[in-house]
Amino acid sequence: MAQFELITSQNDIGVAQRAFERLLDSAMPRCPGTFMIGYQGGNVETKSLRSNRDIWHHRQIVTEGVKYPRYWNAFGLAADLRSTGSNKITVEINSPIVGAAPAVAGLFAREVSSGRLALLHSGKVGGGKAGVGQSAFVGWFDGTPVQVSNAERRGKKREAFLIALLDDPKGVRGVSKFVSAVAAFKARDSTIDLRRMTLQELRRRALAAERLPKKSARTSFVFKRNPYVAGHAKRRADGRCDLCSKPAPFVFDNEPFLECHHVLPLSDGGTDTIDNTVALCPNCHRRMHLDPADTDLERLRRRAVGKG
Ligand SMILES: [Zn+2]
Ligand SMILES: [Zn+2]
C-alpha cells in the first residue's frame, strides 16, 4: 500500500489547495450564470461554479460558524445541475486550513516515495441514513486505499482513499470517479429503493455481484456487503424468522425487523450471496453466534438455498 504523509502546516495546505484548484480549473470550465448550492442549513449563491461532463464544483473558504475553518470544496453530479432552484451537494472534499481536523474528511498529503502532493479522502461521506457512514462506504467503494501517517501525532497511521495526485493532468478523472461513486452509494444505500424491487429483481441484482466479498489486508477496510443480498434474504423470509418461524418481534422503519446472517461466516470464507444468507429474529441471530446447534445450522443451510 502506498505511503503518504499528512500535510498540516497552514502554508503547505494552502499550496496543496491551490494545486487542487489548478487541477480542477484546467479540466472544468466556469459555467456562465448564477447557481444556488444547498448545504446543511442554507443555500449559497455563486457565479463561479465549474463543471465538466461528469461533475460540478464550487469552492470557498469557510471560517464562520465551524469548529475547524476549512477550504470548502463542494461537488455534485453534472447531470443533476439546475440553473434554477437549489443544487444538492453529493460530497464535500474539505481540508482544514491548518492542522488535521478529525471532523473534516479531505486530506492533503505528500507521497513518501515521490514527494508528490495528493488529495485523499477518509471515506466518511455523510448523508443517507443514520448508521450509514464511513465503514459502509469504505467497504463499498472500489477505490485505491493508501496509508497516511501524521508526523505531528507521532506517525499515527490511518487509511484513506487516493483521489488524485495534484500534478497529474488527468487528476480530475479521479475526482469525477469519486464523486460519481458517492452519488451511486447514496442512491444505493436506500431501503426505499430495495422495497420497490420485486423478489426477482433483488435476486437478479444479488446474483450479478461478485461471489466473494472484497477484503483488503487491513482490518479497518471491512467486507464489501451487497445490499441486494440482504434485501433478498429479508424479502424471502416474508416477516418470519428463518430459524424459529415466529413473526419478527417488532416493526422498524415500516418493515418487520429481521437481521441478516451469513450461515457460513464471511470470516470463515463464506460468501455474501443469497445461498449463504438468511434473515433471523434478534434472539435466534444472537444464538447462532453464541451457540449454534448443528440441527439449526443444517436448517439455515437449507433455508438459504431455498430448500427448507
Ligand atoms: Zn427466530
Ligand atoms: Zn450473523
**Same domain, yes or no, for 176 and 267?**
no
- Label residue 224 by pLDDT band (50, 70, 90): low
**Same domain, yes or no, for 256 and 155?**
no
Number of domains in the chain: 2
pLDDT at 196 over 50: yes
**Same domain, yes or no, for 105 and 147?**
yes
Q: Are 47 and 148 in contact (CB under 8 A)?
A: no
The last residue of one of the domains, among 189, 224, 255, is: 189
pTM attached to this predicted model: 0.61
Long-range (24+ apart) CB contacts under 8 A made by 37-41 are: 37/74, 37/76, 37/86, 37/87, 37/89, 38/86, 38/87, 38/88, 38/89, 39/74, 39/89
**Average pLDDT across the chain, whole number:** 84
Q: Which three cell numbers stand for residue 31?
A: 459555467
Average confidence (pLDDT) over 52-71: 88
Question: If you measure from the C-alpha of residue 122 to the centroid of ligand 2, how many angstroms do you get, rounded to a whole number?
Answer: 27
Q: Which ligand is nearest to the CA of 303?
A: 1
**Same domain, yes or no, for 168 and 268?**
no
Average confidence (pLDDT) over 185-214: 64
**Same domain, yes or no, for 119 and 217?**
no
Task: Name the β-bridge partners of 95.
Answer: 71
Q: Are 58 and 48 in contact (CB under 8 A)?
A: yes
Question: If you measure from the C-alpha of residue 285 to the centroid of ligand 2, how many angstroms do you get, rounded to a whole number?
Answer: 6
* 125-136 tens-digit pLDDT: 765 444 445 566
CATH number at residue 225: 1.10.30
Question: If you measure from the C-alpha of residue 262 to the centroid of ligand 1, how many angstroms do you get, rounded to a whole number?
Answer: 15
**Same domain, yes or no, for 161 and 203?**
no
Lowest mean pLDDT among 91-105, 191-205, 241-255, 269-283: 191-205
**Same domain, yes or no, for 137 and 196?**
no
**Same domain, yes or no, for 154 and 235?**
no
pLDDT at 273 over 50: yes
pLDDT at 213 over 60: no
**Residue 88: in which H helix or E strand, if any?**
strand 86-88
**Same domain, yes or no, for 144 and 257?**
no
Structural domain boundaries enclosing 7: 3-189
- Label residue 205 by pLDDT band (50, 70, 90): low
Question: If you measure from the C-alpha of residue 143 to the centroid of ligand 2, how many angstroms do you get, rounded to a whole number?
Answer: 27
Lowest mean pLDDT among 47-51, 186-190, 282-286, 291-295: 186-190
What is the pLDDT, as a whole number, of residue 125? 76
Overall residue count recorded for the chain in this entry? 308
**Same domain, yes or no, for 123 and 140?**
yes
CB atoms within 10 A of CB 18: 12
**Same domain, yes or no, for 9 and 109?**
yes
Question: Which residues lie near ion ligand 2 (Cβ < 5 Å)?
Answer: 261
Average confidence (pLDDT) over 222-247: 87
Q: Which ligand is nearest to the CA of 243?
A: 1
Q: Which residue has the higher pLDDT, 41 or 111?
A: 111
What is the pLDDT, as a whole number, of residue 290? 86
Question: If you measure from the C-alpha of residue 261 to the centroid of ligand 2, how many angstroms do you get, rounded to a whole number?
Answer: 4
Percent of the chain with pLDDT over 70: 85
What is the pLDDT, as a whole number, of residue 188? 63
What is the pLDDT, as a whole number, of residue 214? 45
From residue 161, alpha-carbon distances to 94, 151, 262 in Å are: 14, 19, 28
**Same domain, yes or no, for 257 and 275?**
yes
pLDDT at 251 over 80: yes
- Label residue 305 by pLDDT band (50, 70, 90): very high
The last residue of one of the domains, among 131, 162, 189, is: 189
Question: If you measure from the C-alpha of residue 236 to the centroid of ligand 1, how many angstroms do you get, rounded to a whole number?
Answer: 15
Question: If you measure from the C-alpha of residue 286 to the centroid of ligand 2, how many angstroms do you get, rounded to a whole number?
Answer: 7
The last residue of one of the domains, among 189, 217, 250, is: 189
Question: If you measure from the C-alpha of residue 239 to the centroid of ligand 1, how many angstroms do you get, rounded to a whole number?
Answer: 11
